[in-house]
Structure 1
């Protein structure tokens, strides 16, 4: 019997204890954090802790008063710095916005050093924590201002503030275990809230690096005059896809996400997106084709339906076309591939314009042609080395009809205005030489008593 009891106890001792459920583990961690918060709040009621809280509130009031005094003067001083570079002005605005925090840090640290010299460290613990938090928040606010994207800058700033706060308070491990306990399983891949936060931070940092490299490289590519504008856009877009794609996948691998486990899921998502985003994919492919065949490029003047303007930029999904009246049309790339597009400056910038006019039959047509050509040559923007020509195109009911053809090299300057200037030059020249421009004449006969007599007979 004793041997059986011993064997039973040994078997019981060898049996491993069941692992706690994730929900129970998360609940235990949350209760521990709550208890620590309660203990900290109760500790504030002790005399020396209350004194420290009063000192902190006093420093806050002094920093607020200093901001009220210095803030308007700094604002006026910054408004007078019109010749400053943009980065200096932005830094000055940042200091103006964080002036209260700056004064709080400048006032708090001397107080902490004095309290540590005249009393025990425990009686300046809250002061030190407040000074460290304020200093860390100020540094993060200044550093994150370098991020150009507003949304990403806000996310990184608040994430940094939360992280340094937890680190200074010494509860990072508990919060990490709490976030890691909230997890889901996708096959063999485990994704927790802690992994998601790590991925957001790492991928965000890599995206910042990719954006910096892309911006620097694209500026150098655009300065290279040996590369055509369309090829510059293609190289920049390809570089951006490569850099951001590498940043995304490297970020996932850095936080320990198994990408092979997501292969089936990504394939299913890809099939669904393929059916739902056919137009988007078509525009992307059309954009690549446009860049490769160089049919249009930034600066070209095009006509598509009723839209006439010059190309401002080539995007991955659309082309930006700016018209003469300042409107910007975003035309999908697919429309430029499948539709009929008139590119006024595809192979060269020369554009021929035609205008029609008529003169009376009593005017010498040889003289009319000569005067019309000379009038067109005297108009600004009309090319002289591609001389205008004038031809008779028909004999109308009341006029001899002509066509005047001339060339320009700057269609972005407008077409209607140059036609109007040529018409005005023709009017002045015809008035000077006595050439008349006929207009249709109609004879109206009124039927009176004679008509009634004829009907009666």
Structure 2
């Protein structure tokens, strides 16, 4: 931009600003007329009356709301929102009532300001109620105050000159021009598109999750795909709606993507691994898995990590790449049946046939052990101090834990063996103390002969 163009832009900006100051000055001077001063006084009085009525009605409305037991939560929330805006509601009602009365009793020009104030107050009230649907507090305040400023300028007739002023302040780089007004429009349109995308995604997410014909992994994949499509479309449509040229943006985004691909290899690897996990259905929410030393069940599948909750309540975020590259034990991949093995030993004087029979009966007596897939017991060896056995049994609820069911079977074995006089041996060692020996002679040396040899 040359010096002449900069000077012209500064002059245009000064002209728009001077125009706004002139309109504001004319507006203030026009307010000094007697009937307009009367209208301003009436508006101030109505505001005071509305404030008194709001202070009087608010505690009574809260007491009445406490008596509404069993009502749906959305009804109570609506009543709470209305209670917080009682002053503005009373002011809107009083303003429109006064405006109608003055329209009938006197000339229309003598109630013009009251009508404008009533219109602006009504718009403020509707904006305040509508923005309650925005959950993010910062975004809700930003939208609310922006809408309040716009409707105020619009109904006061100042929006045209304000928009010209905002349009004149712009950043120009070559053929690219971005004004403050264009930036505001882009933010508003993009925000609305994101809001509708979020609403559509929430509705589709509920239908997908309740569809029993779609597996949990495919449900997660569809939801992630919809997120990318909807929010990506909202972003690019918002840029296109305000006149951005997306051709150059596509080239720039491609270059940025290559740079990010080298700098964020791990992130990209986790994203791709997450898609592979969803496609091959190797794990899904609710599965019980073991990754390294971590044992627990899957809460959710994220774009970058998998959330696993262990039996002690800890939540681990395992990168998706680890689930692809490491060995993963999925205890409930194709079904929920899990076979567990425990080892024990008994004394040599106990009959092995009786021991095997008692061990099977003890395992069957535990609640979570499946009886229609009966336990089995086998001899696996003869140890130094015991006959060694392996007891195998099945469960179908690995989410209930593995250590606790093993402990219960061990307790059942203990009780059963104690009732039937089956002993569980343990290694024993005998220590001999040698005293009054010649330290120069070995302990096992033979005593010298006392007679002559033959």
What TM-score results when the alignment is normalised by the length of structure 2?
0.88
**Consecutive unaligned residues in structure 2, runs of 5 or more:** 442-454
For 2:303, the equivalent position in structure 1 comes to: 316
For 1:102, the equivalent position in structure 2 comes to: 89
1:149 Cα deviation after fit: 4.7
- Closer/same/farther in 2, CA of residues 112 and 370 from structure 1, 3 Å limit: same
Structure 1 vs Structure 2 CA RMSD: 2.6
Structure-2 separation of matches of 1:71 and 1:425: 66
Cα deviations by residue, 1:269-306 (Å, 9 ceiling, x for unpaired): 32333233322222211111111111111111111122
For 1:347, the equivalent position in structure 2 comes to: 334
Structure-1 separation of matches of 2:180 and 2:328: 51
Matched, 1:128 2:97: no
47-56 vs 206-215, greater mean Cα deviation: 47-56
Matched, 1:182 2:150: no
- Closer/same/farther in 2, CA of residues 319 and 456 from structure 1, 3 Å limit: closer
Structure-2 separation of matches of 1:61 and 1:437: 90
Structure-2 separation of matches of 1:363 and 1:73: 83
For 1:307, the equivalent position in structure 2 comes to: 294
- Closer/same/farther in 2, CA of residues 437 and 30 from structure 1, 3 Å limit: farther
Task: Judge conservation of contact 1:187–1:261 (CA < 8 Å) in 2.
Answer: no
Task: Judge conservation of contact 1:188–1:261 (CA < 8 Å) in 2.
Answer: no
- Closer/same/farther in 2, CA of residues 362 and 79 from structure 1, 3 Å limit: farther
**Consecutive unaligned residues in structure 1, runs of 5 or more:** 1-16
Structure-2 separation of matches of 1:312 and 1:74: 43
Structure-2 separation of matches of 1:279 and 1:48: 72
Structure-2 separation of matches of 1:45 and 1:442: 112
For 1:431, the equivalent position in structure 2 comes to: 418
- Closer/same/farther in 2, CA of residues 76 and 401 from structure 1, 3 Å limit: farther
For 1:260, the equivalent position in structure 2 comes to: 247
One of 158, 164, 184 as aligned partner of 1:197: 184
Structure-2 separation of matches of 1:270 and 1:140: 40
For 2:197, the equivalent position in structure 1 comes to: 210
- Closer/same/farther in 2, CA of residues 438 and 193 from structure 1, 3 Å limit: same
One of 411, 422, 426 as aligned partner of 2:409: 422
1:355 Cα deviation after fit: 1.8
Structure-1 separation of matches of 2:5 and 2:224: 54
38-47 vs 74-83, greater mean Cα deviation: 38-47
Structure-2 separation of matches of 1:79 and 1:280: 51
One of 380, 396, 407 as aligned partner of 2:367: 380
Structure-2 separation of matches of 1:362 and 1:170: 106
Q: How does 1:36-75 map to 2 (within 5 A)?
A: 36-75=23-62
- Closer/same/farther in 2, CA of residues 132 and 372 from structure 1, 3 Å limit: same
For 1:144, the equivalent position in structure 2 comes to: 131
Structure-2 separation of matches of 1:192 and 1:117: 46
One of 67, 70, 73 as aligned partner of 1:86: 73
SS in 1 for 2:385: coil
Matched, 1:407 2:403: no
For 1:7, the equivalent position in structure 2 comes to: none
SS in 1 for 2:306: strand
One of 364, 381, 398 as aligned partner of 1:394: 381
Structure-1 separation of matches of 2:62 and 2:431: 79
169-178 vs 116-125, greater mean Cα deviation: 116-125
Task: Judge conservation of contact 1:369–1:391 (CA < 8 Å) in 2.
Answer: yes
What TM-score results when the alignment is normalised by the length of structure 1?
0.87
For 2:448, the equivalent position in structure 1 comes to: none
Structure-1 separation of matches of 2:287 and 2:409: 24
Task: Judge conservation of contact 1:360–1:436 (CA < 8 Å) in 2.
Answer: yes
Task: Judge conservation of contact 1:189–1:261 (CA < 8 Å) in 2.
Answer: no
1:396 Cα deviation after fit: 2.9
1:456 Cα deviation after fit: 9.4
Structure-2 separation of matches of 1:168 and 1:327: 57
Q: How does 1:13-28 map to 2 (within 5 A)?
A: 21-28=8-15
- Closer/same/farther in 2, CA of residues 59 and 327 from structure 1, 3 Å limit: farther
Matched, 1:367 2:327: no
Structure-2 separation of matches of 1:100 and 1:399: 87
Cα deviations by residue, 1:42-88 (Å, 9 ceiling, x for unpaired): 55555444443333333333333323332223223334434333322
